Amino acid sequence: MRRFSLAFLTISFCVFVSSLLVLGCGGKKTDDDDDDTPRRPKKTTTGPSAAAPTQQKVEAKQGYGTISGRVTIEGDASSIISDLDANLKTAISANTDSSYCLTGKKGGESSPFPIQPYETNQQDYRIGKNKGLGNVFVWIEPQPGFYFDIPQDQLDAIPKEVTITQPHCNFFPHCTVLFPSYNKDGAQVKTGQNLIIENDALVLHNAKIQGLLNNPPNEGLSPRKPDGKIERKPVLLRPEKSPVTMACDVHKWMKSYIRVHDHPYAAVTSVGADLKDQKKKVYENLDSAEVGNYTIKGVPVGASVKLFVWHERAGFLTAPSGDTITLAKENKKDFTATPK
């Protein structure tokens, strides 16, 4: 009897130890097991719901229309402008090229274009006699998940060169829109448009271009030659959401703003420029009734889009994320800016 009890206890003990070994070393853990060991992520199957969304075309099924309007200044900007002009005058006077830069006030024989005013005035607030505010960017963007289907006739009308010049010590135009490429079935295709930077001044300039996606080499541009020949620098930029700036390290007050799009539906409000006469280019005329006006042509009627309006100092005149509008044949959109 005693031997039987001892044998029974021995067998029971072995069974107990075996159970512990199975649970401790060979047992299968569940997801609820509590330990600090990192677990490999579970495999998931890839189905239609997990696929990346495909962008859709914004097609002009109802034809094409225009967006137009005017941006006006609200309130008195005279004190701000006075301070900006004073700061600019101080900066120019301290520069080694000051005597030449100051000749831009009235133009004259030293300029290849005799009618060349306003080069020594602040460029932030260009306000017309009609209270229109120039150099304001206006553009549209498709809703998320969409891209504009650009028709061939609009692509054919795109100018191959957009020129920024600097006859003395300021960039003209001060604000520019570009359309160097467009979305075609998910890929960016070049339109052939280049930005051309000219130095038609008698002093050395450079064009330092900076953006989130655009940072081309910062190269100097030699002064205009006695025979009138000027250096021209072509630059191909990439579309991006933020404004691209261009500055001159030689004359640090010089600045220009560029917005680069993958569609042609953008404009800058007028400063009364008249560039038809290539020998007497007028980059600005604040007496013009056109100051502050803009027009965007060829927009797809019926499409829901985001409208943006932005000024370098006043900021967004729409919501920063854009104002949603459904495009009609004729879209009239006016805005006011408060000086800051």
Give the pLDDT band (50/70/90) at residue 337.
very high
Helix (H, G, I), strand (E, B) or coil at 78: helix
- Of the candidates 312, 14, 308, 327, the one whose C-alpha atom is nearest the C-alpha of residue 141 is 308
Peptide bond into 173 cis (omega under 30): yes
Q: What is the mean pLDDT of residues 125-131?
A: 94
Categorise residue 312: left if φ over 0, alpha if ψ from -120 to 50, beta otherwise.
alpha
The first and second tokens of residue 98, run together, are 């000051």
Residues 322, 113: Cα–Cα separation, whole Å: 39
Share of the chain above pLDDT 90, in %: 69
Q: What is the mean pLDDT of residues 332-339?
A: 97
Indicate whether 306 pLDDT > 50: yes
Cα 117–chain centre separation: 28
**Tens digit of pLDDT for each residue in 12-65?**
444 444 444 444 434 444 444 433 333 433 444 443 334 445 789 998 989 999
- Of the candidates 140, 152, 158, 154, the one whose C-alpha atom is nearest the C-alpha of residue 194 is 158
- Of the candidates 3, 239, 216, 198, the one whose C-alpha atom is nearest the C-alpha of residue 112 is 198
Indicate whether 217 pLDDT > 50: yes
**Tens digit of pLDDT for each residue in 252-269?**
999 999 999 999 999 999
Residues 6+ apart with CB under 8 A from 333: 67, 68, 69, 138, 307, 325
Residues 290, 292: Cα–Cα separation, whole Å: 6
pLDDT of residue 53: 56
Least confident range of 40-44, 74-78, 242-246, 321-325: 40-44
Q: What is the mean pLDDT of residues 237-258?
A: 96
Residues 71, 88: Cα–Cα separation, whole Å: 25
Q: 221 or 54, which is more confident?
A: 221
pLDDT of residue 228: 84
pLDDT of residue 305: 98
pLDDT of residue 117: 54
Cα within 13 Å of Cα(251), Cβ side: 30
Q: What is the mean pLDDT of residues 142-154?
A: 96
Rounded to 5°, angle at Cα 166 from 229 and 272: 120
Residue 25's identity, in one-letter code, is C
Q: 232 or 13, which is more confident?
A: 232
pLDDT of residue 71: 98
pLDDT of residue 105: 66
Q: How high is the mean pLDDT of the chain?
A: 84
Indicate whether 106 pLDDT > 60: no
